[in-house]
Amino acid sequence: MTVDFAFFHVGEDFTLPKMLCESIRITNPNSNIIQLTDKKTPILTDLVTKYLRVDGNKDNLMFLRSKAYQSYKIDKPTLFIDTDMLVIKEIDENNIFKNNDLVLCEREFQKELKGDDFNAYLLKNDLPEFTNQTLYEVFPILGCFIGARKTQLLKITHEIYSKYSDNKKKWNGDQFALKEIYKNNKDKIDLISENKIAYPIRRDEEYHNAFIIHFKGNLKIMMKPYFDRIFNNGK
């Protein structure tokens, strides 16, 4: 069975969402694309199949995204993905789902990262209790990809998230909530490697085995050149 794709976007800059949607249209032409957004953002009517609006504080963007995810009524296997990603291959349900109805993305890149720079990031984000731990120990589950065939565990994840302090709600709360839901429901959740479903672009020769590639942080500027290379013969 084909999968559907859902993305969350707020604001009028559609540079990244358009490339994401176009990549899906090319590689998975039979899939639906669902735009999840707030009450004011325009809808990409020429590229999306349907949309869902939710009300909330866009200053807590990840929390609003979590609310949108758990509000969407899933009627077929759906992949919830970030907008700074390109889908580069056709994806079948069996490529993602094995034993369970929720699939989370396990970190594979820079798992052992720790030290002064990471500690500085944690302190900047008011998370001092995690200093001197590795990146994987703090954030083993990434929020850029979620595969779901049912909504129940997404609702529980959002409930977990809603109990966090304000500093966790603003940005990193999604990763903490996904970490917690997995810890408490390992028998109901499958993991899939970041390198397969959200490959972080860094060296050209390594991404070809992935289904989806990811342009993190300041590498978002590389998304257009890669889109042209993959889909427009380098033009």
pLDDT value of residue 235: 55
Greater pLDDT, 28 or 218: 28
188: DSSP letter: G
pLDDT band, residue 205 (cuts 50/70/90): low
Structure pTM? 0.95
**Total of domains in the chain:** 1
Residue-level length of the chain: 235
Q: What is the structure's pLDDT at 57? A: 85
Contact 227, 19 (CB under 8 A): yes
Sheet holding 199-200, edge to edge: 85-87, 212-214, 199-200
Q: Which domain holds residue 180?
A: 4-231
Measured CA to CA, the distance from residue 181 to residue 7 in angstroms comes to 21
d(CA 86, CA 197): 10
CATH number reported for the structural domain that contains residue 99 in this entry: 3.90.550.10
How many Å apart are CA 216 and CA 233, to the nearest integer? 23
> Is the pLDDT at 77 greater than 90, yes or no?
yes
